[in-house]
């Protein structure tokens, strides 16, 4: 999972990186139009999902009108369920999916778990965000129980096409949760995406990469440049594990993009061009495997 060692330079990007990944005015306008379209064409509901450990608050999104669509589960970063992840859910639903974005910290507090901006440069704010108490019950068995409950909830929705494979995507601490979901529900999850996932490779016997043999999904793992600098062999461990298991997977370092670059409220580290590239890859993977 994400910890303070993954985030000390969250808001540090060079001017070269900013220039290299600057979004054009035309591209920015197109993105704004995309979000406006999503707002107009998607139904959004606050829901509660019963899990073995309690009641999880979550946001549910699906296209307006009659029809059924594949299901997708989004695991948030350490900041939890908040407007930026609602935007992601809405945008994805507009592309033709039934999307659930749960509050991963529901055992402790309803969303938002963190009030105000995610300012990792403020020691007081950082301490609140990183408080281990927020992750009560989020051990491996707990996450597995949650994943089964969330997919069960999605499959119970009349808008969900249960004949289609489901997808899952996660950011920062959500990366390992994606791997666990794909491993615990291999016959249900057809596509899995991690963006700047923290702790995909560890020395523990519960390391997420050890779950790869259990997966059947196509996997795309987008790696932050500074995460790769700190742990340069992790990508090779992942690639070898996928290859040894005969899995279809891509592990790609995003040069110029630092940890957190896909999440818009992450301040200066947010890299819109890099985020849009990751979104395009995610969209293509889902189209190959879910639609």
- Label residue 141 left, alpha or beta by phi (over 0 means left) and psi (-120 to 50 means alpha): alpha
Cα(103)–Cα(114) distance, rounded to whole angstroms?
A: 11
3-state SS assignment for residue 234: helix
Residue 111's domain comprises 4-289
Per-residue tokens: 275: 């985020």
Cα(247)–Cα(88) distance, rounded to whole angstroms?
A: 27
Cα(9)–Cα(98) distance, rounded to whole angstroms?
A: 35
pLDDT in tens, the chain (291 residues): 454 434 433 333 333 333 344 556 766 677 777 767 777 899 999 999 999 999 999 999 999 999 999 999 999 999 999 999 999 999 999 999 999 999 999 999 999 987 766 666 677 777 777 888 888 889 999 999 999 999 999 999 999 999 999 999 999 999 999 999 999 999 999 999 999 999 999 999 999 999 999 999 999 999 999 999 999 999 999 999 999 999 999 999 999 999 999 999 998 999 999 999 999 999 999 999 998
Per-residue CA distances from 170 to 88, 159, 181, 197, 198 (Å): 11, 22, 10, 7, 10
Is the previous residue joined to 156 through a cis bond, with omega within 30 degrees of 0?
no
Phi, psi at residue 30, to the nearest 5°? -65, -40
Q: How many domains does the chain have?
A: 1
> Do residues 59 and 100 make contact, with C-beta atoms less than 8 angstroms apart?
yes
Domain CATH code at residue 131? 3.40.50.1820
What b/e readout covers 209-232, taking b as 16+ CB neighbours within 10 angstroms?
A: bebbeebbbbbbbbbbbbbbeebe
CA angle 112, 5, 253 (to 5 degrees): 95
């Amino acid at each position: 999972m994400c910890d303070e060692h993954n985030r000390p330079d969250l808001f540090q990007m060079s001017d070269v990186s900013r220039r290299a990944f600057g979004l054009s005015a035309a591209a920015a306008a197109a993105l704004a139009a995309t979000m406006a379209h999503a707002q107009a064409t998607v139904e959004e509901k606050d829901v509660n999902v019963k899990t073995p450990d309690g009641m999880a608050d979550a946001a549910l999104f699906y296209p307006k009108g009659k029809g059924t669509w594949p299901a997708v589960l989004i695991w948030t970063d350490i900041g939890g369920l908040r407007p930026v992840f609602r935007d992601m859910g809405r945008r994805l639903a507009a592309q033709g999916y039934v999307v659930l974005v749960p509050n991963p910290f529901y055992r402790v507090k309803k969303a938002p778990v963190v009030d105000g901006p995610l300012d990792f440069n403020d020691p007081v704010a950082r301490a609140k965000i990183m408080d281990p108490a927020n992750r009560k019950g989020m051990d491996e068995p707990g996450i597995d129980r949650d994943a089964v409950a969330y997919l069960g909830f999605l499959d119970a929705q009349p808008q969900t096409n249960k004949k289609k494979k489901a997808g899952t995507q996660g950011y920062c601490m959500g990366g390992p949760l994606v791997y666990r979901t794909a491993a615990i529900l291999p016959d249900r999850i057809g596509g899995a995406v991690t963006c700047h996932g923290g702790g995909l490779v560890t020395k523990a016997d519960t390391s997420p990469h050890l779950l790869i043999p259990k997966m059947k999904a196509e996997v795309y793992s987008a790696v932050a440049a500074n995460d790769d600098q700190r742990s340069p062999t992790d990508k090779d461990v992942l690639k070898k594990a996928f290859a040894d298991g005969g899995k279809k997977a891509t592990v790609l370092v995003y040069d110029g993009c630092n940890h957190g670059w896909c999440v818009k409220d992450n301040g200066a580290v947010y890299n819109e061009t890099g985020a849009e590239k990751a979104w395009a890859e995610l969209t293509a993977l889902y189209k190959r495997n879910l639609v």
